[in-house]
Amino acid sequence: MSWIRSGFFGGNTSPLRRVSPEKAKAIESKARSNRLPQTGEKVALAVASVILASLLLGAGADLSARGWLGLTVITGVAMGLFLRFLLEFRREVLLSLSRTVTLAAFMLVSLSILRSFDSFVGLEHTDFLPLSLVAMVMALVWNRSIALETMAFAGGLFGMFLFLHGNGDSRETEGLVVSIGGALVAAMAAGYIRRRSALVRVGMVIGVTQVLIKSALLLMRPEIVDGGEELWLLFLLGVHGLVMGLLVSGLLPTIEAAFSVTTDISLLELGNTHEQPLLRKLLLEAPGTFHHSYIVGLLSEAAAEAVGANALLARVGALYHDVGKLNKPGYFAENSPEARGRHRELTPEMSLLIIAAHTRDGVELGRYYNLPEAILSFMPEHHGTSLIEYFYHAAQQLRGEEHVNEEAFRYPGPKPQRIETAIVMIADACEAIARQMPDPNLSRLGEMVHEVAFKRLMDRQFEECAMTLQDLARIEAAFVRVLQAIYHTRPTYPKGGKPNPADLSQPAEERRAVVEAAQRAAAGSKS
What DSSP string describes 163-174?
HHH--S-HHHHH
Phi then psi dihedrals of residue 170, to 5 deg = -65, -25
User: H/E/C letters for each residue in 125-161?
Assistant: HHHHCCHHHHHHHHHHHCCHHHHHHHHHHHHHHHHHH
Does one domain contain both 164 and 225? yes
* Structural domain contains residue 359: yes
Q: Does 212 score more than 90 pLDDT?
A: yes
Q: Identify the CATH number of the domain in which residue 193 sits.
A: 1.10.1760
Does one domain contain both 513 and 413? no
* Structural domain contains residue 28: no
Percent of the chain with pLDDT over 70: 88
Closest by CA position to 418, among listed 324, 256, 304, 266: 304
The pLDDT score that the predictor gives to residue 100 is 81
Which residue among 206, 230, 261 closes a domain? Answer: 261
- DSSP conformation letters of 42-76: HHHHHHHHHHHHHHHHHTTS---HHHHHHHHHHHH
- Greater pLDDT, 372 or 229: 372
Cα separation, 332 vs 465, whole angstroms: 29
Q: Does 17 score more than 50 pLDDT?
A: no
Lowest mean pLDDT among 27-31, 135-139, 242-246, 461-465: 27-31
State the alpha helices, DSSP H only, in 382-468: 389-399, 419-434, 442-458
Closest by CA position to 132, among listed 185, 62, 211, 200: 185
- DSSP conformation letters of 359-403: HHHHHHHHHHTT--HHHHTHHHHTTTT-B-HHHHHHHHHHH-GGG
Question: Under a CB-based contact definition with an 8 Å cutoff, are residues 29 and 16 in contact?
Answer: no
The pLDDT score that the predictor gives to residue 38 is 63
Which residue among 261, 279, 308 closes a domain? Answer: 261
Cα separation, 103 vs 427, whole angstroms: 34
* Structural domain contains residue 37: no
Closest by CA position to 345, among listed 330, 335, 362: 330
Which residue among 219, 238, 261 closes a domain? Answer: 261
Does one domain contain both 405 and 523? no
Cα separation, 201 vs 451, whole angstroms: 48
Does one domain contain both 254 and 110? yes
Question: Under a CB-based contact definition with an 8 Å cutoff, are residues 28 and 15 in contact?
Answer: no
Does one domain contain both 140 and 211? yes
The pLDDT score that the predictor gives to residue 256 is 81
The residue range of the domain holding 186 is 96-261
Question: Under a CB-based contact definition with an 8 Å cutoff, are residues 417 and 460 in contact?
Answer: no
**What's the one-letter identity of residue 412?**
P
Does one domain contain both 426 and 504? no
Phi then psi dihedrals of residue 410, to 5 deg = -105, 150
* Structural domain contains residue 183: yes
Does one domain contain both 254 and 287? no
Does one domain contain both 275 and 234? no
Does one domain contain both 341 and 475? yes
* Structural domain contains residue 331: yes
The pLDDT score that the predictor gives to residue 491 is 60
Mean pLDDT, the chain, whole residue set: 84
Q: Does 5 score more than 50 pLDDT?
A: no
The pLDDT score that the predictor gives to residue 59 is 85
Cα separation, 183 vs 360, whole angstroms: 43
Question: Under a CB-based contact definition with an 8 Å cutoff, are residues 355 and 331 in contact?
Answer: yes
Query: Which residues are CB-neighbours of 124 under 8 A, at least 6 positions away?
Result: 167, 169, 171, 172, 175
**What's the one-letter identity of residue 186?**
A
3-state secondary structure of 415: coil
The C-alpha angle 5, 27, 16, rounded to 5 degrees, equals 60
* Structural domain contains residue 2: no
* Structural domain contains residue 50: no
- 486 pLDDT band, cuts 50/70/90, is confident
Residue range 359-373: mean pLDDT, rounded: 93
Closest by CA position to 296, among listed 275, 317, 268, 274: 317
Does one domain contain both 302 and 235? no
The C-alpha angle 517, 521, 526, rounded to 5 degrees, equals 150
Residue range 107-120: mean pLDDT, rounded: 88
139 C-beta neighbours (distance < 10 Å), count: 27
Does one domain contain both 412 and 519? no
Does one domain contain both 411 and 471? yes
Q: Identify the CATH number of the domain in which residue 470 sits.
A: 1.10.3210
What is the domain count for the chain? Answer: 3
* Structural domain contains residue 221: yes
Residues 64-112 pLDDT 10s: 899 899 999 999 999 889 988 888 888 777 767 777 888 888 888 888 9
The pLDDT score that the predictor gives to residue 421 is 95
Lowest mean pLDDT among 172-186, 289-303, 364-378, 483-497: 483-497
- pTM score: 0.73
